[in-house]
Amino acid sequence: MAPYSLLVTRLQKALSVRQYHVASVLCQRAKVAMSHFEPNDYIRFDLLEKNINIVRKRLNRPLTLSEKIVYGHLRPDRVAMQDATAQMAMLQFISSGLPKVAVPSTIHCDHLIEAQLGGEKDLRRAKDINQEVYNFLATAGAKYGVGFWRPGSGIIHQIILENYAYPGVLLIGTDSHTPNGGGLGGICIGVGGADAVDVMAGIPWELKCPKVIGVKLTGSLSGWTSPKDVILKVAGILTVKGGTGAIVEYHGPGIDSISCTGMATICNMGAEIGATTSVFPYNHRMKKYLNKTGRADIAILADEFKDHLVPDPGCHYDQLIEINLSELKPHINGPFTPDLAHPVAEVGTVAEKEGWPVDIRVGLIGSCTNSSYEDMGRSAAVAKQALAHGLKCKSQFTITPGSEQIRATIERDGYAQILRDVGGIVLANACGPCIGQWDRKDIKKGEKNTIVTSYNRNFTGRNDANPETHAFVTSPEIVTALAIAGTLKFNPETDFLTGKDGKKFKLEAPDVDELPRAEFDPGQDTYQHPPKDSSGQRVDVSPTSQRLQLLEPFDKWDGKDLEDLQILIKVKGKCTTDHISAAGPWLKFRGHLDNISNNLLIGAINIENGKANSVRNAVTQEFGPVPDTARYYKKNGIRWVVIGDENYGEGSSREHAALEPRHLGGRAIITKSFARIHETNLKKQGLLPLTFADPADYNKIHPVDKLTIQGLKDFAPGKPLKCIIKHPNGTQETILLNHTFNETQIEWFRAGSALNRMKELQQ
C-alpha cells in the first residue's frame, strides 16, 4: 500500500485550487497565530468532508473510519510532547533553524516526577531537581510558539483527552500511548521526536498506509468487567506484535456500553499489541464527555458531520475479531509481558503452578491508561465497602490521578479521601511508577515479589528496576479488590472477605457515575501560553550542563559499503526500548545525548553468555558493559552493528533508543522483525534497520563474526541488501537483508539523518 505522504500528494492534486488554498491559509494562520492559539481553534469538519468525498470517489467503496480520518487530512492537526521526549524534540527543532512551529504544539511535564512520599512533596522535589530542564522546556516553548503544561498538570494523554482530542482529529505525540485519544474518535499516533520535528517544521510526515483490524463488540459491559478487560482480551488474542502496521478500529453495538474514558483506556493500551493506533466511532458517550469538558460546540459540529466520524456500512476490515462483552470476564495479564492473559478467576492457580509469588506487595492504580474520574470512582466504591466492614488494604496501595482536573474533582467529591482511608497514598499527577519513576523502599533489588497495577506495561524491571518483580496489569477496581485481599488467589466475583467483626462478606461490583454530576473542578491553572512576541525570548543551554546538550549533526554516509562491522551484541529474546534505553533514573539525562548513551542496551541479554550488560570487546577480548564497549569501538574507529530477535524495539516511542547507537558509532541494526515506531526512529537517525530475508539466518551469525553490508550504492526501495558473514576461521556466508526504506528515507540515510536532510533542503 502507498505511504501516507504519497496519498497526501495525490489528494492535494485532486483538490480544487480553492480547497487547497483554504487548507494552506489555515496552516499559515496557525503559524502566525500560535501565540494566542486556543484549544480546538481551526477545527474544519467541512474540509475533512470535502477530502473524504474526493477519496470516496477515487476508491469507489465503503470506507472504514480509519481511512476517512487518515485520507481526509493533508497533514496532522496537532503535536503533543511529554517532557522526557520533548527535550530531544525541541533540541532537534532548534537545530533546524526555524523560527516557529507550523502547527499547534504542546509540551506536558509528566515524566520527571518521582513517586516517593506523596503528591505535594514529590512535586516540590521534582521542581527543584528538574528546574534546569523545566526552564529549558518553558523558554523553548515560549520562543518557538509551543504551549507549556507545567509539572503537576497531569499525564499528557489525559490532558489531551480533556482539552485537545476531538472526533476526526489527526494528532501525533512523542509517546507510544498517544492512541489514548482514539477514545474520543481521533486518529492519534505515537511517534519519535524526529517525526514531531517534521510536523512542527511544516514538512511532509510519513506513515506507511496501515491495515485496519476491526474489533466488533456486541453485548454490554456489566458487573466487574470493565473497558480494561476488552484490551486485555485483545492483547491475549493478537499478542505484542499482532497489531503491527495496523489501526485497530472498534465498532458494533457493544461500544454504547463503554464510557468515553473507557474507550480511551482500550485505545491507550493498543500500543501493547504494536498497533499504529486504535479508534472508536463517534457516539453519544463521546458527546457527553465533550459537553462535560466544556466543548459543547465541538459536539454540535460532530453531530452535524457524524456520517464522516463513523465507518461506512459494509466497509472491509483486513482482519475481524468479535467479542461479546456480556460474556467477557475480568482479566489480569502478566507477568513480564502485557499479552499473557488470564481470567482473574484463574490467575491464582496459574501463579502457584508457575511459581509466581501470590502475595501482593503493592497495588497501584492510575497511569495514562486508567486514571479517569470513572476509574477513581469505581476503585473508591470498592474501597468504601471494605471500610464499612473495618478492613484496609493488606498490600501497599498507591493512587495516581490523571490530571490536575481529576485530582481536584476526586478531592471535592470524596473519592480521594476514601482511597486514603483504605490505606492508599495519593501521588502526584504524573506517570510515576508506571514508567519506573518510583523510589521503592519495601524490597531489595533481586527480591522476588508480585505487584498488581492498572498500568499498561509490565516488562521486566519496568516499574521498579527489579527484574524479580512480577507485575500484572488489570482494571483499577480489580487492583483495589486484590490489594484489600492481598493475594492473587482472590476472585471478587465469587470469593468472600472476613470483616473486622469476623463475619464474611462479598464485595459488590462497583456502579458509579462515569462523569461528575457537578462540573469538573479545574484545580490550579498550570498552563503557560507562548507570548505573542517572542523575539526577546532566550533559550539557554549551558555547555557544562549534565542534563542538556545541544546537538551536533551526525556524519553523512561516505558513499561506500559498510565493511567489517563488529557485532556489539547479539541479543537473545525480547528487547524492548526499555532494554535499549532504560527509563527510571535515566530519565534525567533525556536532554543530554552523551550522558544518556551510558544506558545503551544495558538491559539486553547477550546470547554469548546469557548476561545483561556484559559483552566481549573484540580487540581486548575482555567482557565489559555495552556502552563502554561501544565507546571503545567509536574511539578506535570501529563501526558496529547489533543483531536482534523478534519485534525489536517494542514498547515506548523513545527515540533515544535510536539516537544512542548512532551517537556511539552504530551503523545498522539487523533483526528478525521491528516494532513500528522504533524502525522509523532508526531511519530518522541515519541508521539501517534491516531484517533477515530468512529469519533462520539469525542463527548463522555469532557474536565474534564480522559483517559486511553490500549494495548501498544502489540502495533502492524493495531491493534487498547483501550481507557477508565473516567467521573467525576464515569462512564466509552470504545472506540477504530486507528493508522498508522508501526514496525519501534513503535520502535520510545518505544525508546522515532526517534532520541533516531537512537542512539540505533549506539551502
- Alpha-carbon distance of 285 to 268, in angstroms, equals 17
User: Dihedrals φ, ψ of 262, to 5°?
Assistant: -65, -40
Q: At what angle do helices 296-304 and 45-59 cross, to 10 degrees?
A: 30
Cell reading at 424: 492508599
Q: Where are the beta strands (DSSP E) in 589-720?
A: 605-606, 611-612, 615-616, 623-624, 640-643, 666-671, 688-692, 706-710
For residue 508, the one-letter residue type is E
Q: How far is Cα 604 from Cα 602, in angstroms, rounded to an integer?
A: 6
Q: What is the DSSP letter of 179?
A: G
Number of residues that this document lists for the chain: 763
> Distance between CA atoms of 746 and 557, rounded to whole angstroms?
11
End-to-end CA distance of the chain: 32
* Burial of residue 68 (number of CB atoms within 10 Å: 0-12, 13-18, 19+): buried
Cell of 8: 497526501
Strands (E), 571-705: 605-606, 611-612, 615-616, 623-624, 640-643, 666-671, 688-692
- Are the CB atoms for 80 and 156 separated by under 8 Å? yes
Rounded to whole angstroms, the Cα distance separating 603 from 597 reads 13
Joined together, the cell numbers standing for residue 207 give: 506513515
* Active site residue ranges: 110-111, 175, 457, 652, 654
Q: What sign does the CA torsion over 466, 471, 475, 478 have?
A: negative
* Cross-strand partners of 612: 605
Residue 414 carries which DSSP code? T
